[in-house]
Chains A and B, each alone.
Chain A
Amino acid sequence: MRNLFLFLREHYFYFLFLLLESFSLILLFNYNEFQGSSLYAVSNSVSGSVNGMFNGISEYFSLRKTNRVLVEEMAKLHSRIPEAFYASDVNIFYKKDTIVKLEYKYISAKVISNSTNKRNNYLMINKGTLHGIENHMGVIIGNKIVGQVVSVSPHFSWIMSMLNKDSRISGKFKKNNQLVNVEWSGGNYRKGQVKEVPKHVRMVKGDTIITSGNSEIFPEGLLIGTISDFSNLQDENFNNGEIFFSTDFNSLGYVEVVVDMMRKEKDDLKASFKAH
């Protein structure tokens, strides 16, 4: 026993290193499960308030651009109000309220931290559970997709951007509804990969890829990007393509969180099937 202690004392440096190193590695590989847990929420609110403070300063530098975007958005909305339409037809058809039900609601939020240079990129926004945000909600900007919520604290949400190794978006070709998967393999933040394109689908440069609506995160028809390059693989069952993202991830100011009002119903339906 005494020898053991002597041994430990002599080589304490190596043991301390192994102890601390394994502790950090355990944290590293488990932290995906930590999301939403108390530890994560604490670190979220600490870094959130510091980032928010810094962002409050840096916001001033982009006021001109923000203004321009807001004006554009306003013009777009103005063109949609009923007064903007010329009544060319005297027969007006009313839709019954019970037929049309609100399915998606949007919460606008400000991006307070963002990155595009890591292999796994995340964003933080200044809205959280208090504003009705929950895990696995989609995040969009205009009609383009950004990512999905992976962790929420009362005032902030942590969003996995599409520029992430764990992000896989279900998309489809606008021209023929063929389903594909969109991923990002690092490097250039404007370009991603389209995986699992069936052999019989003829890709053309400039083909538009939109969300499929299959994933319950994004509504159908949001822009993901356009095909910029493709390869025909001989030995595989699928082809791959390169996609140019419509979203400029480096200039996100305000984003919108998509709330699917019928999500619970969809989940319940699936759960009830699994229960049988």
Chain B
Amino acid sequence: MTSRTVFYNIIRFFFLVFLQVLILNHINLGGYINPYFYIYFILLLPFGIPRWLLLVLAFLLGISIDIFTNTIGLNAAACLIMAFFRPLVISAISSGPESLIGDTPTLRNQGIKWFLYYTIILVLIHHFALFYLEIFRFSEFMATFFRVLLSSAFTMALVLISEYLLYPKGK
């Protein structure tokens, strides 16, 4: 990890937290869809990050969002579950450590197929944890399931759009 990577990640952390609490939390389509784009930060952390740091950063990210939405612990718990599964997901969908190109998981480096698997699995894990922890009862299982799927699709779309905007192919 170079100091450049560290710097970019710090900027990205604050940018995504403020984007989430000031704009995205106010987006509400059809009463169901609510994007949680801030987890893009966890998706983009470098491959070589120590695993303890991954967990600590995920916790800090979640708790920062929680402070603004007054749901202390909710986003932190969901982010931690997502961060916990990140190394497992990476090793499960790649053929080996040498097959990973570059030091960050981006669409340009890893190709569309790898990146889609990576985001779909992790975004779904995070959204499932977040929505079911928020409700914490099974009586509304199907309605919540619906919300999870729709919101995940929205978050995914935002992640893919920013991948294409920030890391264009011919760069």
Name A residues whose Cβ lies closer than 8 Å to a Cβ of B. 12-13, 16-17, 20-21, 23-29, 31, 34, 39-40, 43-44, 46-47, 50-51, 54, 115-120, 122, 124, 158, 165, 185-189, 250
The size bracket of the interface on B is: 35 or more
Most buried by A among B55, B67, B80, B131: B80
23 contacts between A and B (CB under 8 A): A20-B59, A20-B76, A20-B80, A23-B73, A24-B63, A24-B80, A25-B73, A27-B73, A28-B76, A28-B133, A31-B73, A43-B72, A47-B68, A115-B26, A115-B28, A116-B31, A117-B27, A119-B140, A122-B70, A158-B70, A186-B140, A187-B31, A189-B31
Instruction: Decide if B28 touches A117 in the complex (CB within 8 Å).
Output: yes
Q: Does A24 contact B143, Cβ atoms closer than 8 Å?
A: no
CB-nearest residue of chain B relative to A17? B84
How close is A193's CB to chain B, nearest CB, in angstroms?
12
Given contacts A25-B77, A28-B73, A117-B28, contact A54 B22 (CB under 8 A): yes
Distance A162 CA – B77 CA, assembled complex (angstroms): 26
Q: For B56, what are the chain A residues with a Cβ–Cβ distance below 8 Å?
A: 20
A25 to B133, CA, bound (A): 9
B70 A250 Cβ-Cβ under 8 A: no
- Nearest-neighbour CB distance to chain B for A189, whole angstroms, equals 6
Enumerate chain B residues within 8 angstroms of A188, measured Cβ to Cβ.
Answer: 31
A51 cross-chain contacts in B, Cβ below 8 A: 68
B residues 46-92 with Cβ under 8 Å of A?
Answer: 51-52, 55-56, 59, 62-63, 67-74, 76-77, 80-81, 83-84, 87
> Are A47's CB and B70's CB within 8 A?
yes
Interface membership of chain B positions 119-143, coded 1 if the CB is closer than 8 angstroms to chain A and 0 otherwise: 0000000000001011101001001
Per a CB cutoff under 8 Å, which of A12, A31, A116, A120 touches B72?
A31
**Across-interface contacts of A189 in B (CB, < 8 A):** 31
A245 to B16, CA, bound (A): 35
Query: Which of B22, B70, B76, B87 makes the CB contact (< 8 A) with A43?
Result: B70
The secondary structure that dominates the B interface is helix
Interface string of B127-166 (1 = CB under 8 A from A): 0000101110100100110000000000000000000000
Q: Does B94 contact A (CB under 8 A)?
A: no
Query: Which residues from A are CB-within-8-Å of B80?
Result: 17, 20-21, 24
Given contacts A116-B31, A117-B31, A186-B143, contact A20 B55 (CB under 8 A): yes
Give the 5 A-B CB pairs with smallest separation, nearest first: A28-B73, A27-B73, A117-B28, A24-B76, A24-B77
Q: Which of the residues A17, A28, A54, A165 comes within 8 Å of B55, measured between beta carbons?
A: A17
Q: How far is the CB of A14 from chain B (nearest CB, A)?
A: 8
B32 at interface, CB cutoff 8 A: yes
